[in-house]
Amino acid sequence: MQLSAAPYEERLTAPRSWWLISFLVGVSMALVLLPFGTLPMLGGLAGGTAVAAVAASSYGSVRIRVVGDSLIAGEAKIPVAALGEAEVLDAEETRAWRTHKADPRAFMLLRAYIPTALRVEVTDPEDPTPYLYLSTREPERLAEALRAAKSE
């Protein structure tokens, strides 16, 4: 398999504030278990923090990659030959495309904490998906990687 001229990889990590929230979930569990003693309280702190941190980490572990002639977005793998134009969306357009402009048939790799996105048309006539909506912190770079992979 040949790698693309402009390889692209991005992990859509959760924002730092989510890690603070994970700790606060642990504190909440500790307070709930406080009447049962010190050991259950400490267990609640550790357990609640760990469970919330695992949830934040797994939600933020999704990746977008352009490898060879494929776009891999989360668990979806799409050949770039089946993709049309890529439209870079600023914060306002990103919000519009994930709300009132959204098509329920679209593939949405949506992370609300990422303010920008890329909208890519699907040109495969046998695919009912009209477009891909990909939350990304670097939409211009992803669009360029897709163009480079298409031209190979």
| Tens of pLDDT, residues 12-70 | 999 999 999 999 999 999 999 999 999 999 999 999 999 999 999 998 889 999 998 89
- Judge if 37 and 86 occupy the same domain: no
- Judge if 135 and 114 occupy the same domain: yes
Alpha carbon distance 92, 78 (integer Å): 27
- For residue 86, the enclosing domain spans 62-151
- Judge if 67 and 139 occupy the same domain: yes
- Judge if 54 and 88 occupy the same domain: no
Residue 107, pLDDT > 90, answer yes
Q: Count CB atoms within 10 A of the CB of residue 73.
A: 26
The whole model's pTM is what?
Answer: 0.80
* pLDDT on residue 3: 47
* pLDDT on residue 6: 52
- Judge if 30 and 102 occupy the same domain: no
* pLDDT on residue 151: 83
- Judge if 69 and 144 occupy the same domain: yes
- Residue 107 sits in a domain of what CATH number? 2.30.29
- Judge if 66 and 138 occupy the same domain: yes
- Judge if 88 and 100 occupy the same domain: yes
Which 3 state secondary structure label does DSSP give 69? coil
Write down the mean pLDDT value for the chain.
92
Summary count for the chain: helices (H), strands (E): 4, 8
- Judge if 48 and 69 occupy the same domain: no
Number of structural domains the chain divides into: 2
Q: Which single residue is written with the structure tokens 């357009």?
A: 93
